[in-house]
Amino acid sequence: MSNILVVLASARKGRVADKIFEHVKKDLDARDGVEITVADLKEINLPFFAHELSPASPDYVPTDPGVIKWEKLVTEADAVVFLTPEYNHTINAIQKNAIDSLKNEWTGKPIVVIGYGWSGASLSLVTLNEIFSFLKTDFKPNPAQLTFMKDINPDGSILDEASVTGQIKTALDEIA
């Protein structure tokens, strides 16, 4: 059984991630041997990273309950799917904070991104590629890039079912 962690990386009311997650879940549910775990960064509510030690330090031990829960979710995952919005041409603060709250847990972890936004989250993907390369993850090269007014509406409703389903399948094929 493969444990796929799906991270909802937006905390906005009415977020698009919830609607995209429905399609991701449908795809993963249709695959044999896959178990889905969801990490909703809105619910985990991680504190902004302010620990006196870097997560790269051998002496670093998280003490915040949210960070401990997050660490466990990432550690136990066989692969991670980030549902990533694009805010001002990059990833949002809660996603960056969540990534920065850990270090060694990312090493070798297969990661794929399903991005969405006006440019299909293209610049968020550039940022994540840099971050995840530094963290030595197994960052997969075939993300889904769901573009507003082409693939989906800004409210998350689907405009092009075939494109959305195909992109999600291609991205998830990388890890499931």
pLDDT, tens only, 46-81: 999 988 999 999 999 999 999 999 999 999 999 999
pTM of the prediction? 0.96
pLDDT at 133: 96
Question: DSSP labels for 87-142?
Answer: BTTB--HHHHHHHHT-SGGGTT-EEEEEEEETTTTHHHHHHHHHHHHHTT-EE-S-
Which of 105, 33, 118, 32 is closest to 73 using CA atoms?
Answer: 105
Domain total of the chain = 1
Collapsing DSSP states into helix, strand and coil, what is residue 163?
Answer: helix
- Report the chain's mean pLDDT, rounded to a whole number: 95
Q: For residue 74, what are the domain limits?
A: 2-173
CATH code where residue 29 lies: 3.40.50.360
Burial of 78 (0-12, 13-18, 19+ CB in 10 A): middle
45 pLDDT above the threshold of 90: no
Q: Which amino acid, 39? A: A
The answer to whether the CB of 60 falls within 8 A of the CB of 54 is: yes
Residue 111 in tokens? 């990661």
H or E element in which residue 51 lies: none
pLDDT at 164: 97
Which of 24, 17, 22 is closest to 173 using CA atoms?
Answer: 24
Please give the average per-residue pLDDT across 146-160, as a whole number: 95
Q: What is the pLDDT of residues 92-137, one digit of tens each?
A: 999 999 999 999 999 999 999 999 999 999 999 999 999 999 999 9
pLDDT at 2: 96
List residues bridging with 36 in a β-sheet: 4
Rounded Cα–Cα distance for residues 151 and 147 (Å): 5
Give just the sign of the alpha carbon dihedral 23, 39, 147, 125: negative
